[in-house]
Structure 1
Amino acid sequence: MQRIKTWLNQYEPMTLITFACLAGGLFLLQRLTSEVMEGETLGFDRTILLWLREPGNLAQPIGPHWLTHAIGDITSLGGITVLSILTLLATIYLLLDRRTAIAAFLFLSVLSGWLASTGLKILIARARPDIVPHLVDVNDLSFPSGHAMVSAVTYLTLGALLARTQRYRATRIFVMGAGIFLAVIIGLSRVYLGVHYPTDVLAGWVAGSLWALLCWLVSKRFIARTAGEAESERR
């Protein structure tokens, strides 16, 4: 018991919470992946996809026409082009501001998140849904949703970095909430457009959040140590 207390005292409460979230998220992702590979989620996925289409015309999504266009715009926010430009601009800004360690953290987090998403797609090899017509063109594998996963990594990481600079707690909560909101609506847009099963998106959210947490945990000490060394050099 004393050894456990000694081990716990070595870490900050937030770090311990992060470890707990990582463990819970990994368990959820493993269970979800197992259910998907066994075909246990297909009934749920099918029901949601059909519910989002007009009963007499599966090529027509529910809702007004402007909603389809709006959701097409939203899904672009999670595309590789937009995320790459956003990450590149943010990285350049951080480099110009002489925050090299944070710039490297952001760039490597997003890049590794994209690579992890691609690797999982190849490993699981789940085909795209053919239950309803796709409203946008897609040509890769389905599980997990790359839009959901990489947007979660990108926007949560950017939100965490921006929140660190905010003075007020309410502002920090808003910034992180905005990152979560963007990741959520981007994931939902993929289901509405018929290009992903709901479980693809759920897995993308979980995996993306886990990856962002893991990168934050690994980089936390590195960034703090680098900042300390830079401060010592100034002195």
Structure 2
Amino acid sequence: MPLPQPVRALFQRLEATTLIAIIVIAGSLWAFIGLAAEMVEGDLHAFDEAVLLSLRVPGDPSMPIGGPQLQVAMRDLTALGGVTALSLLVLVVLAFLVMLRRRASALLLLGAILGGQGLSHLTKVGFDRPRPDLVPHGVDVMTASFPSGHSMMSAITYLTLAVMLARTEQSLRVRVYFVAVAAVLAILIGVSRVYLGVHWPSDVLAGWSLGAAWALGVWLVARWLAQRGTIEPEKSAPGDPAPETGKT
């Protein structure tokens, strides 16, 4: 069945990278909605328990695998997703963007992080899932469990920071490096939350899904605003077509 003409025209106007980004965002949101629905119905309980117990010494749920050194490392990693660490990092990058005279990009970054924090709070309050009680908690916690705030905000913050910094860099290799480091940090922080027993695995998966969708959405907004001249354009990588100047 052929696509309607308006739909075909829309696809022709969109760049391939934009289409891929939209598909990934849709997939991430679909994953979050699916996890939320399964969590509400209780269908994830067996999966969550199995993964959580696999990180404990067999026969002793109070003892994480790997010994004291790994426990210390996991606490260090989980701190990288806390409010203090993320706030300091955002302030450093905001100052860097202002020094580069990219004030509009700095404002977009600030709005994206604050908006993501608000979304994280609303989803936690809305679902109000209790924390795991299957194993002792390795760190203190105060809020609801679903989605994982550390996982979601680390994905939002590190990936958004990586995207905004990549826009200032001409080298494609450096751009990819920024995003790869951000993704690895978000993954490690999420794993640490499960290891420390303060989140069910499905909490972390939901946090990653929603956080990645938000960060990728910010990237699309940045591209759209740059095309309209509202924020500073990103630097072109070698081999990219030169921007149009309007001259003949």
Q: TM-score, normalised by structure 1?
A: 0.92
Aligned to 2:170: 167
Which ranges of structure 1 fall in alignment gaps of 5 or more residues?
230-235
Tell me if the contact between 2:29 and 2:213 (Cα under 8 Å) persists in the aligned partners. Answer: yes
Q: Match of 1:134, SS?
A: coil
Separation (CA, whole Å) in 2 of partners of 1:174 and 1:216: 16
Tell me if the contact between 2:105 and 2:231 (Cα under 8 Å) persists in the aligned partners. Answer: no
Give matches, 1:1-235, under 5 Å: 1-224=4-227, 225-227=229-231
Tell me if the contact between 2:86 and 2:157 (Cα under 8 Å) persists in the aligned partners. Answer: yes
When structure 1 is superposed on structure 2, of 62-71 and 220-229 the one drifting more is 220-229
Separation (CA, whole Å) in 2 of partners of 1:17 and 1:64: 42
Tell me if the contact between 2:104 and 2:230 (Cα under 8 Å) persists in the aligned partners. Answer: yes
Aligned CA-pair RMSD? 1.6
Tell me if the contact between 2:116 and 2:153 (Cα under 8 Å) persists in the aligned partners. Answer: yes
Separation (CA, whole Å) in 1 of partners of 2:180 and 2:15: 23
Which ranges of structure 2 fall in alignment gaps of 5 or more residues?
234-248
- Identical columns (%): 44
Q: Which amino acid aligns with 2:139?
A: V
Higher share in helix: 1
Residue 173 of structure 1 and its aligned partner are, at CA, apart by 1.7
Q: Which amino acid aligns with 1:72?
A: R
Flag the 1:12–1:194 CA change in 2: closer, same or farther, 3 A.
same
Separation (CA, whole Å) in 1 of partners of 2:10 and 2:143: 45
Q: Which amino acid aligns with 1:52?
A: L
Tell me if the contact between 1:102 and 1:223 (Cα under 8 Å) persists in the aligned partners. Answer: no
Q: TM-score, normalised by structure 2?
A: 0.87
Separation (CA, whole Å) in 2 of partners of 1:172 and 1:217: 16
- Cα displacement string for residues 127-164 of structure 1 (whole angstroms, at most 9, x for unaligned residues): 10000000101011000000000000111011112223
Count, aligned residues: 229
Separation (CA, whole Å) in 2 of partners of 1:171 and 1:62: 36
Flag the 1:165–1:94 CA change in 2: closer, same or farther, 3 A.
closer
Aligned to 2:246: none
Q: Match of 1:226, SS?
A: coil
Separation (CA, whole Å) in 2 of partners of 1:34 and 1:9: 35
